[in-house]
Amino acid sequence: MSRIDFDVAHLLAGTLVLISFLELYQDRLYALLNVYALHALVLAASVAWQALIQDAPHLYVTAGIALVFKAIVIPVALHRMIVRLGIHREIDEVVGIGFTMLAGMGLVALSMVVMLRVTHNADPLAQEDLAFALAVVLLGLLMMVTRFNAVSQVIGFMSLENGLVLAATGAKGMPLVVEISVAFSILIAFIVIGVFLFRIRERFDTVDVQALDQFRGERR
């Protein structure tokens, strides 16, 4: 593998982690959606690059799904949904930005330490890719636990899933990647439709999932 192949793949995967950080501190839903669209765009570029250097044309399908579905359809749909639900002005911040960023850095450091040590036998590209992918997954999880808004939780889940696609494409020659990315897209479509169809707002007058929590446990 030539030096430039590795560098570009490294750059794209690193950018994905960086954008995950950007997502962490967006407290307005519109801004968050735009950053997520960027996240998906970079993922599409990264997957396409992997398809090129691995000479694996089927990965272009995954890249196409990322580009069309995740970077365009889902953000546009969520955008309209947010307007319909009338929550576009809502500010969603739970834990302080400083704390979240520190926790995020800790998670990235953790995934580097764990993955680089564990995968020392793998080729360097896969090694770096998996480390970055785990970082994106963990940052997505962090976002899900630091938000109370259902829409932001969904976006957290979607960026977590982008990390998984990154890992799957980085694992050279992995079969079923396309199938898995399709399965995940279905899952996400369900979630997005779920936000709307479950009519969380209609039922609870808010998309704040804390409103769900008051019914947790026992009905008295």
Partner 1 sequence: MTIDALTGVLFIPALAAALLAVLPGYRMTARLNVAATTLTFLCALSMFVRRPPTGAYLLVDDLNATFIVLTTFVGFTTSVFSASYIAHELETGRLTPPFLRFYHAMYQVLMFAMNLALVANNIGLMWVAIEMATLTTVLMVGIYRTHEALEAAWKYFILGSVGIALALFGTILIYMAARPVVGEGLDAMVWTVLVKRAGGFDPALLNLAFIFLLLGYGTKVGLAPLHAWLPDAHAEGPTPISAVLSGLLLNVALYALLRFKMLLATNADALAPGPLMVTLGLISLVFAAFMLYRRRDIKRMFAYSSIEHMGIITFAFGMGGPIANFAGLLHMTMHSLTKSAIFFAVGNVAQAKGTQRIADIGGLTETHPTLGWGLILGVVAIAGLPPLGIFMSEFLVVSSTFARAPALAIILVFGLLVGLAGLFLRINGIAFGEPRGPNATAQASYVPMFAHLAIVFAAGIYMPPALVAWFHNVAGLLG
Contact positions toward partner 1, by CB under 8 A? Answer: 114-115, 117-119, 121-122, 126, 130, 133-134, 137, 141, 144, 150, 153, 157, 160-161, 164, 167-168, 171-176, 179-180, 183, 186-187, 190-191, 194, 198, 200, 203-204, 209, 212, 215-216, 218-220
CB atoms within 10 A of CB 216: 7
Q: Give just the sign of the alpha carbon dihedral 96, 36, 88, 84.
A: negative
Which stretches does DSSP call E strand in 165-214? none
CB atoms within 10 A of CB 41: 18
Q: Which is nearer to partner 1, 34 or 144 (CB)?
A: 144
CB of 103 to partner 1, least distance (A): 17
CB of 98 to partner 1, least distance (A): 25
Q: Which is nearer to partner 1, 19 or 136 (CB)?
A: 136
Q: Which is nearer to partner 1, 21 or 157 (CB)?
A: 157
CB of 62 to partner 1, least distance (A): 13
Exposed/middle/buried for residue 167 (C-beta within 10 Å: 0-12, 13-18, 19+): buried
CB atoms within 10 A of CB 179: 12
CB of 176 to partner 1, least distance (A): 4
Residue with tokens 């450091």: 109
